[in-house]
Structure 1
Amino acid sequence: MKLYYKPGACSLSPHIVANELGINVEFVKVDLKDHVTEQGKNFYKVNPHGYIPALELDNGEMLLEGVVIIQYLADQKPEMGLAPANGTFERYKLQEMLAFLSTEIHKGFIPLFYAAPAGDYIEIARPKLEKRYAWINEHLADKQYLMGDKFSVADTYLFAVTGWAKASWLKSYEDTPLHLDSLHHLQAWYERVKSREAVQQSILEEGLELN
């Protein structure tokens, strides 16, 4: 299998899952500015949408959405428990959480990435994203991980996108896009996930320096 990724992007999530499971995956870096792989291949021929991650299976089939990719990888080694069994209520709860992370957290960052063209909308988008993170913080009050006491693919997704805002915990609200410094359960969770061996391996492999 091949995982197409950009360092520090949401593709860090399946990267972590692959390392957690010990699955043999070839990691292919993509330049999203020019939409070419590190081998010079036109990335639009891999994913016509032009975004990452993308997972190419050994039979040539493609998966193009991150929340699907991480579940697919987890299902390759169900005994590892990164996702509950298909058809169970617990699996639907995982999918519910993944949908929330995708639509409310991940997409919530988009206006912050384009602050200038977003204009005054930033003052609507930023508090909304902070509110969503406040909910996650309370959700984690009595849990080690998003789905309970067991690490899951949902944690890899939230970790990847939260890395974009992590530095803001060390600065004042006026200087940063998000105000998360008071979310102590979230901060503790982040450090807990970051300490995992597979997470550290993935960070190293992508050449990242996460606080």
Structure 2
Amino acid sequence: MKLYYSPGACSLSPHIVLCEASLAHELVKVDLKTKKTEFGDDFAAISPKSYVPTLVLDDGEVLTEGPAIVQYLADLAPASRLAPAAGSFARVRLQEWLNFIASELHKGFGQLFRKPPAEWQEIVRGGLAGRLAYVAETLDRQPYLLGANFSVADAYLFTILNWAKWVKFDLAPWPVLDAYLGRVAARPGVQKALKTEGLL
């Protein structure tokens, strides 16, 4: 299978999952400005949404949307324990976190990359602060979002929290988030993904 990615973008999350689960894969870098792959192919012809992550399976099926992709990958490698079993309440809890990260954090940080007017930035940053306080409260009680075990939700959260430095969002009010980032970054699978994308 092929993962179409851009370094440091939200596609880092499934890239981490691929490495953590030791799943065979090929990476294809996409220039998000030109919408061309590193081989000069038109990315829009590969992915109708024209954004990463896009996973192309060996049978030609195309899967988009990070939360869907990471769950699919986790289910391919159940021994990795990156997601609770489908149909369990724990799996619903995982989906709750993935939806929260996508709608409340990913979209918030994404707006800051577009450099909105100062007044709107203040509103967005205030909203993010409230959401991050909630995340920090959870991580103050346990090492990962679902408890003792790293999951695909942590791969996603780690990716989005790393955007804070790029949009100058100060995480200092929540030291637990800094500790969490260090804990996740130290994982071998995460290190491998970061190095491959040139982020280390």
- What is aligned with 1:44? 44
- Distance, in Å, in 2 between the alignment partners of 1:153 and 1:96 is 12
Q: Secondary structure at the match of 1:29?
A: strand
Q: How far did residue 111 of structure 1 move?
A: 2.2
Detail structure 1 runs of 4+ shifted over 6 Å in the superposition: none
- Distance, in Å, in 2 between the alignment partners of 1:187 and 1:119 is 26
Q: How far did residue 79 of structure 1 move?
A: 1.7
- Gaps spanning 5+ residues in structure 1: where? 169-175
- What is aligned with 1:142? 141
Q: Aligned AA for 1:112?
A: L
Q: Aligned AA for 1:64?
A: T
Q: How does 1:39-188 map to 2 (within 5 A)?
A: 39-115=39-115, 117-165=116-164, 167=165, 177-188=168-179
What are the superposed Cα offsets for residues 95-138 of structure 1, whole Å, 9 maximum, x if unpaired? 000000000000011221112x4442111111101111111001
Q: Which moved more, 1:119-128 or 1:4-13?
A: 119-128
- Gaps spanning 5+ residues in structure 2: where? none
- With normalisation by structure 2, the TM-score equals 0.97
Q: Aligned AA for 1:7?
A: P
- What is aligned with 1:9? 9
- Distance, in Å, in 2 between the alignment partners of 1:202 and 1:80 is 16
Q: Secondary structure at the match of 1:4?
A: strand
Q: Aligned AA for 1:159?
A: F
Q: Aligned AA for 2:161?
A: T
Q: Secondary structure at the match of 1:164?
A: helix
* Aligned with 1:198 (options 175, 185, 189): 189
What are the superposed Cα offsets for residues 22-60 of structure 1, whole Å, 9 maximum, x if unpaired? 100100000010001011110001111111000000000
- What is aligned with 2:25? 25
Question: Percent of pairs identical after alignment?
Answer: 49
Q: How far did residue 80 of structure 1 move?
A: 1.4
Q: Does the CA contact (< 8 Å) of 1:6 and 1:30 recur in 2?
A: yes
